[in-house]
Amino acid sequence: MAKFTVDTHIFRELGELLVGRDSTALIELIKNSYDADATEITVYGEALGDPKRGYITINDNGVGMTETEFVSGFLRIASRLKEEGPRVSKKFGRRYTGAKGIGRLAAHKLASLIQIHSISRDEDPSANRNALDASIDWDEIEKHQTLDELSDAAIRIDTSQVSRTAKHGTLIKLERLRRRWTSTERGQFLQEVDTFEPPSVLVKLPKGIIEEPLLFEEPIIRDSSNHDAGFRIKLDGEFAVGEDYWVSMAQAASWVIEIDARRHTRNGELKVRYVIAPTHKTRDENDNAETVKVSIPHPTPESGPFFHARILIKDGAWDKKLRDWARRASGIRVFMEGFRVLPYGEPNNDWLGIDADYTRRGRGLSLTDYDKYFQVDAEDKDAALVVLANRAYFGAIFLTQDDAPSLRMLVNREGFIPEAGYNNLHELVKTGINFSTRVRASANRESREKRKSDRAAGKADKREGVGTITPTRQVVDEALSQAKSLVREARQLTSSGDIKAAATKISDALTQVELATQSGNKLISETAMLRVLASVGTQLTGFVHEINGLIGIAEAVDNTLARIRRDTSLSQKAKQELGKLHSSIGDLRRGLEKQASYFVDIVTPDARRRRMRLNFAERFNAGTRLVAPIAERRAIEIRNEIPEDLKSPPMFPAELTAVFSNLLTNAVKAAGEKGKIRATAERLSDESIKVLVENTGIAVNLTDSERWFKPFESTTENVDPILGQGMGMGLPITRNLLEEYGATIKFVKPSKGYSTAIQIVFPP
């Protein structure tokens, strides 16, 4: 009789499909320990950069496994053990987090050999106890064509008797790592490992942050029984993390947002409750800061999602010691049953659209939709200007499986399927962010009005000639006028016989004529360039419109593919191909969104309508978004070390963004594969500000560096699909923009470890 056979490559195929990144794989193994009622687990890594001698261990004190449970559970593909009965653990009644046999696939993704030592928890203390020792050699398995042909060397199982007092639990050791990890990859991996669980300060606020508990003292994190002893993860070896700054962060926080979207019925209607509260620190600094409570109807009271959320907001600049940590730790992350759901909350993941709002704040971003919930002055036109970027938020959303049935995980365990449940979660959390913006705007109204008044006074000073910058055309006119005056004086001196004094006047007049000639040539060059740029700008506006249309198309295709993949009638091969296509479409969509976000920041009228003092670090990040895709593909590290308290002279946002994007485009081209780019800045003794952008790779000859500030001087010959061929206009445009503000730009000697450096100095 014919029968199915299973190719040994099934583990590799399923592993790539069902387990995304390496950190996801490790999380899945830790979830297995949680499902086994462990209260303590230690994750240890050693020699991660050396595949031959490196290894990872996961050691827990859970209920362990017997030989029968190992064979019928771990070794059975798509085992039904966790689907039988109420789907809760034996001891603590925890809701199972594992599914689809992903644990073994996670082990396969990380290493070629898995060693398992397990002692089961026996209810009868007088009974004899056995220890299970097993190994799975994936390389040996894949030497055979089908699973029916496996030899004893591929899977080994032994049992041995142990004392009755031996501690129960399971130790998994992963050896012969799949690949060598670079320092950058290890850093990224360790950063993800460090966020397995929600930070303790978001679970329970430290004393002294706020006056009293708001909506809840501690959020509901997991579905489990009341006698659950809890679950603690210890990271050791090369997984050990550095100093924990979360307590310092909580003490520096300005506001707290809490969202209670669990099943609370008020007057027969399910409500979502919000609280936005100032911290003690903010109350001391601002007498107008008050706690505000708001409730709205739950949009989907039947299906949820129902959850708790706690978010800390940090206004203002960070202390230098915390700045790098804060950049990595910021964001609003999502946790399901207490385990992180990637990629939400990663530094470059704007799943809530917070950075998009920050980019267009003050131009099209309206908070009036929320005014009905607050007692505010509707004439507060600048309320949207207090919108903060993603890096100002440090938060966690706590989901449980029972209360989030409408959220379905993507097949690779990274993120939720973008359907109704996910959209509802997004909107409920985003509403809390928008509420907090309105509350902060109301509290800061007086201080914003004072700053506005001060700016108006500053503009009046400039109209009187204080701190103004002379345009090129004015330089030409003044030089010619001065030359004419000098010639007239020379004529008078000649008539009176004072030839020597007349010669001096003529010499001075020639100097003025030379100045006028040089400035005139510059003006002609600028005018020609402006005509070119005007034409490009017109075309670019149309291009942005087309990009936005393509985003809509990509989103529609993305959603359609998601629906098609749920069709149960499709073959496995078709689903795999659709999965690859779906992933590619997702990448396309995200790339288009990045480009659209950047161009909106440059070409919209509001980006050029009003000058303001701009945060250098924020504008550098805006420029980084343009080059991020190509930089990631070339493994180029871009470090923004500009202090967050440094601001520019009053400029248009589009201008400073264009300056940094031009410098970054050149730096990415020059840095080369696995290169580095770094931006630093400092305030000099005369109160001027020096900004330095450095990169590795191609060096610039300082003695000949001025040529690169001339139009159409470019060393780039190959066309890059993102960065372009390079027409030699970037640096001339940049210098032209900066000179209008009295700033200088030039190439300088780079720091150690870098090949090229370009320096901008802004006047005090």
Digit-coded pLDDT (tens) for 234-249? 888 888 766 668 888 8
Q: What is the pLDDT, as a whole number, of residue 239?
A: 80
Apex CA 446: angle with CA 443 and CA 451, to 5°? Answer: 120
**Angular region, 595: left φ>0, alpha ψ -120 to 50, beta rest:** alpha
Specify the range with the lowest mean pLDDT, choosing from 1-5, 360-364, 619-623.
360-364
Q: How many helices (H) and strands (E) does the chain have?
A: 19, 22
Q: How far apart are CA 650 and CA 456, in angstroms?
A: 12
Q: What pLDDT is stored for residue 596 in this prediction?
A: 56
CB-facing half-sphere around the CA of 323: CA atoms within 13 A: 14
Rounded Cα–Cα distance for residues 475 and 517 (Å)? 10
Q: Indicate if the pLDDT at residue 379 is higher than 70.
A: no
CA 312 to CA 256: how far, in whole Å?
A: 5
Residue for token pair 């890096």: 391
Distance CA 126, CA 485 (A): 114
User: What is the average pLDDT across 730-748?
Assistant: 83
Output the average pLDDT for the chain.
78
Q: Are 261 and 271 in contact (CB under 8 A)?
A: no
pLDDT tens for residues 116-133? 999 988 765 556 788 999
Calculate the alpha carbon distances from 294 to 99, 268, 657 in Å: 38, 17, 37
State residue 680's pLDDT score. 95
Taking residues 553-559, what's their average pLDDT?
A: 68
What pLDDT is recorded for position 469?
42
Contacts of range 1-6, beta carbons closer than 8 Å, 24 or more positions apart: 5/146, 5/147, 5/148, 6/77, 6/146, 6/147, 6/148
pLDDT tops 80 at residue 175: yes
47: left (phi over 0), alpha (psi -120 to 50) or beta: left
CB 575 within 8 A of CB 582: no
The one-letter amino acid code at 484 reads K
In the chain, % of residues over pLDDT 90: 23
In this model, does residue 603 exceed pLDDT 80?
no
What tokens were used for 268?
């027969």
Predicted local distance difference test score (pLDDT) of residue 607? 43
Sheet holding 689-695, edge to edge: 637-640, 676-683, 689-695, 756-762, 744-748
Looking up tokens 């946002």, which residue turns up?
653
Residue with tokens 């109807």: 297
Token representation of residue 612 = 């303001």
* Buried b / exposed e along 45-63 (16+ C-beta atoms within 10 A): beebeebeebbbbbbbbbb
Choose the most confident range, by mean pLDDT, from 240-254, 272-286, 464-478: 272-286
Contact predicate 754/694, CB 8 Å: yes
Quote the strand ranges of 327-468, DSSP E.
331-336, 339-341, 393-399
User: Does the predicted model carry a pTM greater than 0.85?
Assistant: no
Helix, strand, or coil here: 666? helix
Q: Is the model's pLDDT at 179 over the cut of 70?
A: yes
Decide: 342 and 23 in contact? Cβ < 8 Å: yes
What single-letter DSSP state applies at residue 562? H
Phi then psi for residue 10, to 5 deg, are: -60, -35
- The CA distance from 84 to 236, in Å, is 35
Instruction: Point out the least confidently predicted range of 63-67, 76-80, 162-166, 230-234.
Output: 76-80
Inform me whether the pLDDT recorded for 464 exceeds 50. Answer: no
What is the DSSP-derived secondary structure letter of residue 724? B
Whole-angstrom Cα distance, residue 65 to residue 75?
A: 12
Whether pLDDT at 752 is above 80: yes
**How far is the C-alpha of 180 from the C-alpha of 203, rounded, in Å?**
36
Element (H, E) at 591: helix 572-603
Check residue 718 and give its pLDDT. Answer: 44
Amino acid 365: pLDDT: 58
In angstroms, the CA 121 to CA 116 distance is 16
The better pLDDT of the pair 537, 352 is held by 352
CATH of 10-193, one of 3.40.50.1980, 3.90.1150.10, 3.30.565.10, 1.10.10.10: 3.30.565.10
Positive or negative, the CA dihedral 318, 322, 325, 330 is: negative
Residue 465 has pLDDT above 70, yes or no: no
CA distances from 528 to 159, 521, 733, 745 (A): 84, 11, 12, 22
Pair 332, 314: CB distance under 8 Å? no
- Asked if 345 contacts 196 with a C-beta cutoff of 8 angstroms, the reply is no
Read off the tokens for 66. Answer: 């017997």
* Alpha carbon distance 414, 501 (integer Å): 83
Amino acid at 486: L
Q: Other CB atoms closer than 10 Å to residue 364's CB: what's the count? A: 11
- d(C-alpha 398, C-alpha 393), whole Å: 16
Mean pLDDT calculated for residue range 533-540: 50
Q: What is the pLDDT of residues 132-168, one digit of tens each?
A: 999 999 888 888 888 777 777 788 999 998 887 888 9
- Give the lowest-confidence range in 403-407, 411-415, 529-533: 529-533
- For residue 245, give the amino acid letter: Y
pLDDT of residue 722: 39
Mean pLDDT over 505-530 rounds to 65
Residues 6+ positions from 176 with CB-CB distance below 8 Å = 51, 52, 111, 112, 113, 139
> Is the pLDDT score of 548 beyond 70?
no
- Of 16 and 394, the one with more pLDDT: 394
Q: Which residues pair with 336 in a beta bridge?
A: 339, 399
User: At the top level of CATH, which class does the domain 612-764 belong to?
Assistant: alpha beta
Report which residue type is found at 374.
F
Whether the Cβ atoms of residue 209 and residue 255 lie closer than 8 Å to each other: no
